[in-house]
């Protein structure tokens, strides 16, 4: 349950993998290592991991941040590197995924550690790459080595220390290619990889003597968390059924000689695990849903209706194939506990009614269009994209490595809705409900509005990035994880909007958090965690009501500005050369206790500061009052 009050906001939400038995068909896990269940100390001998003779083991360590529990520590050391391996029982066909989170600390060299995906030695191939599919290296950069000769491509040219990266590699055993996604963005795709099925994982801490003739201890650590491997493909379709409203003649691989006029006709003819292919165009239906099914089926759009047009997707654009409920029926109704895969489709005039089944979205994106609502459990490895006004209702749960993206219109949140990854690009998140974001959140443009709550759990990492101004209208944005404000984009808040920070709000820019217009209640920033200005040599201005917590200023000037009111005890920790300005020359009313530390400066240059039950407790070397009242 979620409760919003004027006091501390307490949020409890539990995530467990494979809680739904149907999930096994969607994501067949062949590796699950959160490390939390392991004993602290050597990884060697735990959960199948073994170190090579004469080599050190990676270490399972306790992490000071509660959201990460236990993690794996890997250090590359000269003449004594960590080399470990683990056999895995992976499927021998289909699309495989390995994903994990990685943090670098004091990473001064390109290669500190690596994850390696391995096969058995392949016939007629020799050399050190005869048993490798690919390697992903971590250090001052992140790169992948791939192919029969170990070619290299940079994934992240310059890594940021003390930041978690989410890395995901999707590889096809059939097509022998790999694509890599970092923090939700595809950085490389279609790289060739070695032949043969996956049989083991390798884990190494690098011997840096080839990069530094005199490496020193402490020149870099790599931490891994949440290492998972799984197959994302549902069972291969047995038969393919083809749909075109004008009943055109089909061709291979269609089972039906002439296309069905409606999707429902194809469903009625199909068996479990068959595929229904839809021709480019608009598909409608009758009754309560355009497509209702209790069978495990795959629906793919984008095909041409000519005889030779059904083998390959012609248009990789979900908007080319529309399933239209005409505002009177569902686009898809998932009955019983069916597992339904949707690919390369746009749902308009009706959404997905999925009370007890599961919807998979992979390979191609799916668009949510105008005048519809959706519900239920989604497992996505591609993106679920809002292109117009669409509602997610209470209990909707989106898991998987893909992103929910708002790219137009608005996402209306009704009830409690949770998602692992979410991008707000343009348009809006709105509604009276609660949106829970569990892992990654990117906000580059658009608005959050409505009377509801957007909550970033303690495991979440969010970024407010880009040059566009983001607007917070009425809504409560609660951060329990790490929320980073970067680039040149400002934040405008109005109508009593609140940003509540219980985790870390990291400011890496010189921008404004301002009151937009003068209507409605004053917006506020309620800090019970840490606000840190870690970047930007200029001014960050907080032009809304600000309260409490720890404020760390490492560089530049942090202004409490524009008739601000500060309540609750606040501690300013100010580094040398950095400044906190208490009122920016305007009238303020403060209460509680203001304390401070550090070799920087907390100042007041002018204006009026009114202390309503106020205590100021700072060393004289830190506090400077040179004007005002």
Q: What mean pLDDT do residues 520-547 have?
A: 93
Q: What is the pLDDT of residue 67?
A: 67
What DSSP letter does each residue of 259-284 carry, written as one string? Answer: -BSSHHHHHHH--TT-EEEEESEEE-
Look at strands 298-303 and 339-343 and give their pairing. parallel
Lowest mean pLDDT, pick from 32-36, 292-296, 382-386: 32-36
Name the DSSP letter for residue 68.
G
Q: Which residue has the higher pLDDT, 55 or 10?
A: 55
Q: Which residue has the higher pLDDT, 29 or 117?
A: 117
Q: What is the pLDDT of residue 137?
A: 93
Q: What is the pLDDT of residue 1?
A: 26
Q: What mean pLDDT do residues 600-628 have?
A: 87
Which residues in 338-480 belong to E strands, given as ranges?
Answer: 339-343, 345-348, 352-353, 358-361, 366-368, 372-374, 377-380, 384-386, 390-392, 397-399, 404-413, 416-430, 434-443, 447-449, 453-456, 461-464, 470-473, 476-479
Q: How confident is the model at residue 23 (pLDDT cuts 50, 70, 90)?
A: very low
Q: What mean pLDDT do residues 44-60 have?
A: 92
Q: How far apart are CA 410 and CA 373, in angstroms?
A: 12
Per-residue pLDDT reduced to its tens digit, 289-326: 999 999 999 999 999 999 999 998 999 999 999 999 99
Q: How confident is the model at residue 565 (pLDDT cuts 50, 70, 90)?
A: low
Per-residue pLDDT reduced to its tens digit, 473-531: 999 999 999 999 999 999 999 999 999 999 999 999 999 999 998 778 899 999 999 99
Which residues is 138 bridged to in the sheet? 113, 142
Per-residue pLDDT reduced to its tens digit, 336-379: 989 899 999 999 999 999 999 999 998 889 999 988 999 999 98
Angle ∠(111,115,120) on CA atoms, nearest 5: 125
Across the chain, what does the average pLDDT equal? Answer: 87
Per-residue pLDDT reduced to its tens digit, 250-282: 999 999 999 999 999 999 999 988 999 999 999
Most confident of 6-10, 124-128, 408-412: 408-412
Question: pTM value?
Answer: 0.71
Q: What is the pLDDT of residue 8?
A: 28
Q: How confident is the model at residue 18 (pLDDT cuts 50, 70, 90)?
A: very low
Name the DSSP letter for residue 4.
-
Q: What mean pLDDT do residues 224-237 have?
A: 77
Long-range CB pairs of 589-595 (<8 Å, 24+ gap) are 589/565, 590/565, 590/566, 590/614, 591/566, 591/567, 592/548, 592/566, 592/567, 592/568, 593/569, 593/617, 594/566, 594/569, 594/570, 594/618, 595/569, 595/570, 595/571
Q: How confident is the model at residue 122 (pLDDT cuts 50, 70, 90)?
A: low
């Amino acid at each position: 349950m979620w409760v919003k009050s004027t006091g501390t906001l307490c949020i409890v939400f539990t995530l467990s993998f494979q809680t739904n038995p149907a999930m096994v068909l969607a994501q067949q896990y062949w590796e699950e290592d959160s490390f939390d269940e392991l004993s602290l100390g050597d990884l060697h001998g735990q959960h199948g991991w073994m170190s090579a003779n004469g080599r050190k083991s990676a270490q399972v360590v306790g992490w000071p941040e509660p959201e990460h529990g236990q993690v794996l520590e890997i250090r590359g050391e000269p003449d004594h590197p960590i080399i470990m391996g683990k056999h895995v029982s992976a499927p021998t066909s289909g699309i495989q995924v390995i994903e994990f989170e990685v943090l670098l600390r004091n990473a001064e060299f390109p290669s500190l550690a690596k994850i390696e995906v391995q096969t058995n030695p392949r016939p007629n191939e020799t050399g050190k790459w005869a048993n490798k599919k690919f390697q992903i290296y971590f250090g001052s950069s992140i790169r992948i080595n791939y192919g029969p000769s170990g070619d290299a491509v940079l994934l992240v040219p310059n890594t940021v220390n003390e930041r978690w990266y989410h890395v995901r590699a999707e590889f096809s055993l059939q097509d022998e290619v790999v694509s890599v996604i970092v923090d939700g963005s595809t950085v490389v795709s279609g790289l060739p990889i070695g032949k043969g099925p996956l049989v083991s994982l390798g884990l190494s801490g690098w011997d840096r003597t080839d990069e530094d003739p005199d490496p020193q201890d402490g020149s870099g650590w790599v931490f891994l968390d949440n290492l998972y491997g799984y197959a994302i493909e549902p069972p291969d379709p047995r038969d393919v059924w083809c749909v075109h409203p004008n009943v055109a003649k089909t061709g291979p691989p269609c089972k039906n000689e002439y296309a069905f006029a409606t999707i429902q006709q194809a469903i009625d003819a199909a068996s479990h695990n068959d595929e229904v292919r839809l021709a480019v165009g608009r598909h409608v239906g009758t009754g309560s849903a355009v497509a209702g099914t209790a069978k495990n089926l795959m629906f793919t759009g984008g095909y041409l209706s000519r005889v030779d047009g059904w083998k390959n997707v012609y248009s990789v654009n979900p908007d080319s194939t529309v399933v239209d409920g005409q505002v009177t029926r569902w686009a898809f109704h998932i009955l019983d506990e069916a597992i339904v895969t949707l690919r390369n489709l746009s749902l308009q005039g009706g959404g997905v009614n999925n009370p007890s089944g599961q919807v998979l979205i992979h390979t191609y994106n799916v668009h949510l269009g105008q005048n519809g609502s959706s519900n239920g459990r989604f497992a996505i490895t591609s993106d679920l994209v809002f292109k117009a006004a669409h509602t997610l209702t209470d209990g909707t749960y989106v898991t998987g490595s893909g992103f929910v993206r708002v790219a137009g219109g608005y996402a209306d949140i009704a009830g409690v809705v949770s998602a692992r990854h979410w991008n707000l690009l343009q348009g809006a998140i709105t509604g009276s409900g609660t949106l829970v974001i569990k892992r990654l959140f990117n906000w580059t443009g658009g608005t959050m509005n409505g009377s509801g709550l957007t909550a970033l759990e303690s495991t979440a990492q969010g970024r407010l990035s880009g040059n566009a101004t983001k607007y917070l209208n009425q809504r409560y944005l609660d951060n329990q994880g790490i929320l980073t404000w970067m680039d040149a984009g400002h934040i405008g808040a109005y109508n009593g909007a609140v940003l509540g920070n219980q985790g870390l709000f990291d400011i890496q820019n010189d921008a404004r958090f301002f009151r937009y217009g003068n209507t409605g209640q004053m917006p506020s920033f309620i800090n019970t965690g840490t606000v840190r200005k870690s970047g930007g040599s200029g001014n960050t201005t907080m032009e809304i009501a600000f309260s409490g917590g720890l404020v760390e200023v490492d560089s530049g000037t942090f202004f409490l500005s524009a008739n601000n009111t500060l309540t609750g005890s606040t501690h300013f920790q100010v580094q040398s050369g950095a400044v906190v300005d208490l009122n920016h020359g305007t009238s303020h009313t403060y209460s509680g206790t203001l304390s401070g530390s550090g070799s920087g400066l907390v100042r007041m240059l002018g204006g009026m500061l009114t202390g309503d039950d106020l205590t100021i407790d700072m060393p004289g070397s830190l506090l400077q009052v040179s004007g005002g009242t």
